[in-house]
């Protein structure tokens, strides 16, 4: 009898830094602020940060499981708004059958019981219309320090201080399936903090690292703001043997196109790099990572049988051009099959051939990005989904 696979899953609910954004130019990667969810092979449930993505996580949980009790361990890296502002909107906190254990450090500004005081202050008058007593879930608060190591339900957790104003913790989760390191909001350049980050990330299977700015910005207008760059993340990953790097905490001014460019440059230096996107899930099995991307923005969808030419790059980085039929078309994207295996998050060009009532043929050109690729069977074609990144061009008029 085959043994069940030992799998850990890391889900991304919020990936944006500093402030949420609903700009159309940012929606492919997402506009919610930091929130990740880690489910271990033993079934332990970890939530990493409580930005506005936490609301989405909570709503999905209620939708999927209804009143089934929830027990989770919530790790808060620090107390800046973008990492805590989802707490009042987290639906499971309002149900008495749920239990949530929060962890973070003692703030010098807040003093003793910093974590609990932060939690309650968000809902105090005049900041919120409902006070904390409306939250019926059982809540526990534990203050931790950088340098600690402890176990929860079979997962070893290690903490380190990161270089960020007013303090920030990074976390390392060692599970039976592999190791995940969450190290957002860190600025390179301080020897002590740089060493701590490398110790935390050493040999990790997944490193989620701050990539809000570029090195040029960090040397000028953004110096001292407490953030990192994709270049520094790549250097760390190569130096300490990280297997998969995730660029995270995208600046609200960084459009999808800007993030695309940073991802493209990073992949020229390190093969296994991903740009964090809402709905992305990384599965770990025996330290091997597989990535899926899902996007819930569907628009008006219709069945179609349009002939199209698709050009892009394979997972190995080789260019391809292939004829296919688009079988699902919406305002935001399209689905089709390919014999090639394209790279996730890579850009493709699709030329869609159309015909008008007068019988004249025309074409529409789209640029899009791969958000999923699923084998149709054990071998053969791959079902591919793309999201459009531009309005279509119609050179045939």
Q: What is the pLDDT of residues 126-139, one digit of tens each?
A: 989 988 999 999 99
By C-alpha distance, which of 87, 124, 129 is closest to 104? 87
> Rounded to whole angstroms, how far apart are CA atoms 157 and 38?
12
Residue partners of 357: CB distance under 8 A and separation at least 6: none
Q: Residue 39's CB: how many other CB atoms inside 10 A?
A: 18
Q: What is the pLDDT of residues 57-67, one digit of tens each?
A: 999 999 999 98
SS percent in the chain: helix, strand, coil, step 5: 20, 35, 45
Residue partners of 117: CB distance under 8 A and separation at least 6: 110, 111
Q: What is the dotted CATH code of the domain comprising 301-388?
A: 2.40.10.220
Q: Is the pTM of this model over 0.75?
A: yes
4 — pLDDT class (breaks 50, 70, 90): low
Average pLDDT over residues 28-37: 96
Decide if domain 7-292 falls under CATH 3.60.15.10: yes
CA dist list (Å): 371 to 116, 297, 366, 385, 389: 39, 12, 15, 6, 12
Average pLDDT over residues 220-246: 97
- Give the CA radius of gyration of the chain: 22
By C-alpha distance, which of 129, 137, 146, 130 is closest to 102? 137
The two domains 7-292 and 301-388 share their CATH topology (first three levels equal): no
Domain positions in the chain are 7-292, 301-388
Pairing outcome for strands 281-285 and 288-292: antiparallel
Q: What is the pLDDT of residues 103-149, one digit of tens each?
A: 999 988 788 888 999 989 888 899 899 889 999 999 999 999 899 99
DSSP line for 71-100 = EEEEE----SGGGTTTGGG-GGGG-TT-EE
> Rounded to whole angstroms, how far apart are CA atoms 177 and 69?
25
pLDDT for 32 equals 97
pLDDT for 52 equals 98
Average pLDDT over residues 15-23: 95
């Amino acid at each position: 009898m085959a043994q069940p696979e030992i799998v850990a899953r890391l889900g991304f609910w919020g990936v944006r830094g500093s402030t949420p954004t609903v700009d159309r130019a940012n929606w492919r990667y997402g506009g919610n602020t930091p929130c990740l969810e880690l489910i271990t092979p033993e079934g332990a449930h970890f939530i990493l940060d409580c930005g506005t993505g936490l609301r989405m996580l909570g709503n999905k949980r209620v939708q999927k499981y209804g009143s089934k009790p929830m027990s989770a361990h919530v790790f808060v890296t620090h107390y800046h708004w973008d990492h805590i502002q989802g707490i009042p909107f987290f639906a499971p906190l309002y149900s008495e059958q749920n239990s949530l254990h929060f962890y973070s450090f003692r703030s010098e500004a807040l003093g003793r019981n910093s974590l609990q005081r932060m939690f309650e202050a968000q809902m105090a008058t005049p900041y919120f219309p409902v006070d904390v007593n409306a939250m019926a879930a059982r809540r526990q608060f534990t203050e931790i320090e950088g340098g600690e190591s402890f176990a929860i339900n079979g997962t070893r957790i290690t903490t380190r201080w990161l270089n960020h104003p007013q303090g920030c913790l990074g976390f390392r989760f060692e599970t039976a399936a592999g190791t995940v390191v969450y190290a957002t909001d860190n600025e390179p350049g301080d020897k002590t903090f740089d060493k701590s980050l490398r110790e935390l990330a050493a040999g990790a299977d997944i490193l989620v690292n701050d990539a809000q700015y570029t090195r040029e910005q960090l040397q000028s207008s953004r110096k001292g703001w407490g953030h990192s760059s994709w270049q520094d993340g790549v250097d760390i990953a190569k130096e300490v043997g990280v297997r998969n790097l995730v660029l995270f905490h995208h600046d609200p001014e960084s459009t999808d196109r800007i993030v695309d460019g940073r991802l493209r440059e990073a992949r020229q230096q390190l093969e296994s790099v991903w740009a964090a996107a809402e709905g992305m899930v990384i599965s770990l099995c025996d330290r091997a990572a597989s990535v899926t991307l899902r996007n819930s923005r569907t628009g008006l969808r219709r069945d179609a049988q349009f002939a199209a030419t698709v050009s892009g790059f394979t997972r190995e980085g080789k260019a391809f051009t292939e004829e296919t039929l688009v079988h699902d078309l919406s305002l935001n994207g399209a689905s089709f099959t390919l014999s090639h295996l394209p790279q996730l998050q890579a850009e493709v060009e699709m030329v869609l051939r159309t015909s008008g009532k007068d019988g004249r043929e025309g074409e529409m050109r789209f640029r899009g990005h791969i958000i999923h690729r699923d084998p149709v069977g054990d071998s053969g074609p791959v079902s591919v989904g793309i999201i459009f990144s531009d309005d279509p061009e119609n050179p045939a008029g």
